[in-house]
Amino acid sequence: MDTVLELDQVAIRLGGREILSPTSLNVHRGEFVCVIGPSGCGKTTLLRAAAGFFTPAAGRVTRHGKPVTGPSREVAFVFQDYGRALLPWRTVARNVELALEAARVPQAERHARIDRVLTTVGLAAHAHKFPSQLSGGMQQRVQIARCLAQQPQLMLMDEPFGALDAQTRESLQDELARLVREQGLTVMFVTHDLEEALYLGDRVVALRANPTPDKPSLAALINVPLAQPRHQLTTREDPLFLRLRRELYQYLEH
Ligand SMILES: Nc1ncnc2c1ncn2[C@@H]1O[C@H](COP(=O)(O)OP(=O)(O)OP(=O)(O)O)[C@@H](O)[C@H]1O
């Protein structure tokens, strides 16, 4: 199996406190791994360590077998706060273009690439609008389009749908799942919503807050062998979904 990301006994200390106790985890190509856990348990910290934003106090992070020493253009980050992630004075197309500018893609190739990713997320007709003219869900799709334009090896998503209403959240979940299937994306996705993690993930990592030597950060790592494509009604009613939900709930409680 092609391992994109490997965390080997990674510990993170911040402000003199061990936020993440030694944690090991592999993410394979084309895999969707969700990270859940109570507020403050270190989900974002784990994602940032994977992105190379933090130097681990112990252990090592490797991508395709090479040590991660800092941020890379091969990794795209999607933030919950789309309002701050997008530049309000740039149109949708020009916001997507930021990724191509950073990658020094020649001007002549940019238009076609922008058009392609905006079509992928259903925003081709809105290319010339400004973020303030779009709904929250559409703005989040612009952020996702910008990441796709980057053609990353790994997409790190930090509660990307946390600020959206329930209906928009469900349609974006399905859109993201489709993109991942069609484009073979590799995703690490943080959420505090256990059901969202099970609905989207091939595997779910559960972290616990306040780790101790006998209760480390990694509370559980479970496989989610639910059939693809998933469906908002039938998947969530599937007895396996309900059993895994109960299992994860118990891990997080204790
Ligand atoms: N730069 C930093 N310096 C010191 N402490 C930090 C820093 N960044 C995060 N922390 C602390 O690390 C802990 C974990 O934070 P993190 O944001 O990773 O948690 P989380 O699980 O993503 O939380 P939430 O679900 O609330 O977003 C928190 O107690 C936080 O206060």
List, as one string, the DSSP characters of 141-192: HHHHHHHHHT--SEEEEESTTTTS-HHHHHHHHHHHHHHHHHHT--EEEE-S
Atom of ligand 1 nearest to the CA of 41: 21
C-beta of 16 in contact with ligand 1 (< 6 A): no
Distance 46 CA to ligand 1 centre (A): 10
Domain count within the chain: 2
Which of 36, 45, 77, 190 to probe ligand 1 with, by most ligand atoms within 8 A of CB?
A: 45
Same domain, 178 and 240: yes
Same domain, 50 and 89: no
The fraction of the chain above a pLDDT of 70, given in percent, is 100
Q: What is the pLDDT of residue 254?
A: 59
Same domain, 126 and 12: no
Same domain, 85 and 18: no
Same domain, 43 and 136: no
Distance 15 CA to ligand 1 centre (A): 10
pLDDT in tens, 114-141: 999 999 889 999 999 999 999 999 999 9
Asked whether residue 214 carries a pLDDT value surpassing 90, the answer given is no
Among 34-38, 119-123, 202-206, 242-246, name the one with the lowest average pLDDT: 119-123
pLDDT in tens, 43-71: 999 999 999 998 899 999 999 999 998 88
Same domain, 66 and 106: no
Last residue within a domain, chosen from 151, 180, 199: 151
Atom of ligand 1 nearest to the CA of 20: 14
Residue 209 belongs to domain spanning: 3-74+153-253
The fraction of the chain above a pLDDT of 90, given in percent, is 78
Same domain, 114 and 206: no
| pLDDT grade for 164, boundaries at 50, 70 and 90 | confident
Same domain, 65 and 183: yes
Asked whether residue 210 carries a pLDDT value surpassing 90, the answer given is no
Last residue within a domain, chosen from 128, 151, 174: 151
Which positions ≥6 away from 23 have C-beta within 8 Å? 7, 9, 10, 11, 46, 59, 207, 216, 217, 218
What ipTM score was computed for the predicted complex, to two decimals? 0.94
